[in-house]
Amino acid sequence: MTNATQSLVGKVAVVTGGAGGIGVATVEALAVAGAHVVLADIVDDTANEAAEKLAAQGLSVVGHSVDIASEASVERLVDFTVDTFGGIDVLDNNAALTATIRQDRDVVSMSVELWDQVLAVNLRGPMLLCKHTVPVMIERGGGSIINIASGQGLSGDRVMVAYGSSKGGLIALTRSVAAAYGADGIRCNAVAPGLVRTPALEADMPVPVQEMFQSANLIPRLGTPQDVSQLVAFLASPAASFITGQVLSVDGGFLAHLPTLSPLPPR
């Protein structure tokens, strides 16, 4: 039986958006499991600072800057990882554009510029990472790709049409990659978090709105970065060797029922 705490010894992982709340928790979870991890984020100083904090704990983590909407930048990240650690076994496509969420409303008010900006990061970025990572994984006999989608990609909403569409597209990309490269030993799965309590959430979402989401969860709390990162570490590990092409929700049961009925008392 695989020791979960050391299931990734000798493996090499890349985590995009690695300096954020879910990202840094994922980097730590993979490194604790024994992986060498490249923490990639759009700002070089931020990536290096976050990586240094984890390296100070004895974990094998290095930082690198990347703009995932740029193919040249993605190629540099892949080359850096191969040059530093010898290959890539795990890719966590975690980075996403969230700064535009307040302007991301409905279709009628959607600007083409905002739409293109969101999809360039949230969908083209993971595609580019897959494009340039899959060949490296095939050379090593396979690997695991985990795309961080969202509950917004599984259900419709009155707002965040660009974000939700990008995450729905990411789920389709997940299944396409799984279908195309399973025979090459590559597994590709998506994780769909619900509302996760991160510093960005605390800064941007009013408490009453957070409480509204929490009231609709079957597990009466909001998610934590660790709820997501532990699932990513599992999907990256040999323990998930027969799981591919799947979308796994980490949302406290938010989408498992009709939230409009959640205030009703239990039977």
4 falls in which pLDDT band (50, 70, 90)?
Answer: low
Contacts of 90 (CB under 8 A, 6+ apart): 8, 11, 12, 13, 14, 30, 35, 143, 144, 145, 146, 236
Q: Which of 162-166, 208-212, 260-264 has the highest mean pLDDT?
A: 162-166
Model pLDDT, residue 218: 93
Model pLDDT, residue 1: 34
Mean pLDDT value of segment 175-200: 96
44 falls in which pLDDT band (50, 70, 90)?
Answer: very high
Report which DSSP code applies to 246. -
Model pLDDT, residue 35: 98
Tell whether 129 is covered by a domain: yes
Mean pLDDT value of segment 40-65: 97
Its domain, for residue 161, covers 4-245
CB 134 within 8 A of CB 181: yes
Tell whether 209 is covered by a domain: yes
Tell whether 252 is covered by a domain: no
2 falls in which pLDDT band (50, 70, 90)?
Answer: very low
Model pLDDT, residue 205: 85
Model pLDDT, residue 201: 85
| Per-residue pLDDT reduced to its tens digit, 199-258 | 888 888 889 889 988 999 999 999 999 999 999 999 999 999 999 999 999 999 999 988
Model pLDDT, residue 60: 98
Model pLDDT, residue 80: 98
* Lowest mean pLDDT, pick from 2-6, 42-46, 135-139: 2-6
> What are the start-end ranges of the E strands in 124-168?
143-148
Give me the number of domains the chain comprises.
1
Model pLDDT, residue 206: 87
Catalytic residue numbers? 163
Tell whether 251 is covered by a domain: no
Model pLDDT, residue 33: 98
DSSP assignment of 114-136: HHHHHHIIIIIHHHHHHHHHHHH
CATH number of 17's domain: 3.40.50.720
Tell whether 261 is covered by a domain: no
| Per-residue pLDDT reduced to its tens digit, 58-75 | 999 999 999 999 999 999
Tell whether 266 is covered by a domain: no
Residue 200 C-alpha from the chain's centroid: 15
Whether 117 has a pLDDT exceeding 80, the answer reads yes
Tell whether 141 is covered by a domain: yes
Tell whether 150 is covered by a domain: yes
